[in-house]
Structure 1
Amino acid sequence: MQGIIEVKNLTKRYGDQAVVDDISFTVESQEIFGFLGPNGAGKTTSLEMIEGLRKPDGGEIFIKGQTVWPNPNKVKNLIGVQLQSTSFYEELTVKETLALFASLYGKKLSAGELEDLLAIVGLTEKENAHTRSLSGGQQQRLAIVTTLVNEPDVIFLDEPSTGLDPQSRRNIWDVVKELQRRGKTVILTTHYMEEAEYLCDRVAIIDQGKIIALDTPQKLIDGLGSEAKVSFTSEAPIKRELLSQVEAATVKELSGNNGKQLIYSSDPAQTITSLLALAKQDNVEIKGLHVSSATLEDVFLELTGKELRD
């Protein structure tokens, strides 16, 4: 595959603080690339510089071999951008909204082009509906399809499924996969680690302005060194000094209230046997024992920490 986006030593400072600190990465053609990070990590600033919306203080950005800065207008026709929150004219229909967005690029959509665009996001039956009548999921799908009117090579999706119910979220996932099948490159930001794990070919995790991990979701999970999570509940938590003796357990932590506890294990069978023996020793009854594989969320929390950031 050929790199369609190249970012070299990208930097953005506000005063003495480096919000984006000398980051470099490449996005391959027709890849779904996740850009993840906690609040304030620098991901939005990074993407706005790549999209040509915010001027960097240093570094280079190339899209299809064309430099974005100092003349970002040169790449506007190569990209489509869906913002996290999009407002539409409520009195326009879906069809009229797409025609409006196309006109911003000096383009008039044919009936066939309009039909194809609406089919991608499952809004064919809504073409004459006013945007005010659309559900939240339909509004998000309309926001995505507006990024396609100029036939871009690269599409930026900023948290496309935030606030949606599970069914609508899955519909958005299907749309993203369809964009990839149609030859598009997708740059995705999301706070749903399950979404990133399902959709993305590779993910970059940025924290405090630096990229701290970049690989496929599975390789990042494998690199965590934990093969499974063992969670359980009990009326009273097992004493810390006993929990530290659980065999093959690499990380132990309390996970909220109501006696719920979580253990990361390299050998679940051995861990469970040891756990039950120690619980009996402590006169604690184990309930709701559950074993699951490590996930991208575990990787994210391990790399960025668990403290709340604003």
Structure 2
Amino acid sequence: MDLILILLLALAIDLTIGEYPVAVHPTVWAGRLAGMLIKPGLRLRRNLQFVYGTILSLSLITLFSASAWLILDFLKGIDYWLFIIGGAVILKPAFCLSQQWRVAQITRAVIESKAPVPSGMKSLFETVSFNQSVTRGEVTSASIRSIAENASDFVTGPLFYYLFLGVPGAVAYRVLNTLDNMIGYRGKFEYLGKFAARLDDAASFIPARITALLLISSAAFKQWDVARAWRTMITDHGLTPGPNGGWPMAAAAGALGVKLYKTGHYELGSSFVEPPIDKITEAVSLYRLSMFTWIGVCLMALAVAAALRG
């Protein structure tokens, strides 16, 4: 029951309070610490960069996940309910549920009205100017792509590892995903971030596919075109650069019947229409149903496991 109570309380925190302030957000701490420690590695030769990046990645993952375990073990020795509250407080930053649909809704409002971007979201729009060559379709596509891919990275993935490894497992996945986003790409960090990128690919393999299936199942519940969603997922998931992100994005493209693309890189559902603005709202609806379904599955799995043990 411990894991069920922790997850329920963490979910309540997410839905009422939302994301923690930057100053006290563990994921931000991990990112900042990684940013500091990455710099010396850039001065090394390529093969040593890989070694340095491997050690750095494993060290940061271990530091944050082990810290979570030690804190919870300490709290459990003091008081059971303090342990439950502490577990929820630590678990919450490892997943991000409600913030994803709030960002999408604000994105739609900004596109429609060209209103000032909220100060907390300026970084999301810093490369977009509605007076330049970026089209509404491109911004709408980016918003839908983001909510589909982040469903895997920010919800399904962390909670998948929470099922098997508890709070430390969710924390470890979130730190790994943060490292991948920082250094897991070609160019400047190619060798330094190669280990983190490959490990994230492996860790996200199952969650990405679960997310895609959840999106298709939710489309079926809404009586949308399930065959189209399935067909697009199967045919287009490999068009994106990584091995995982294309699965939920292609499923979303098929479920919504829109083309999702990154100009000059890839198109998912290329035969579909350019995504109109109202498709953001439909994507949010699909995301909500999918992720709450996943949380329900997690709670049922934890309940069954508790019953078998007890």
Fold match by TM threshold 0.5: no
Larger Rg: 1
Higher RCO, 1 or 2 (CA under 8 Å, sep at least 6)?
Answer: 2
Alignment TM-score, normalising by the size of structure 1: 0.23
The structure with more strand, counted as a fraction of residues:
1
Alignment TM-score, normalising by the size of structure 2: 0.23
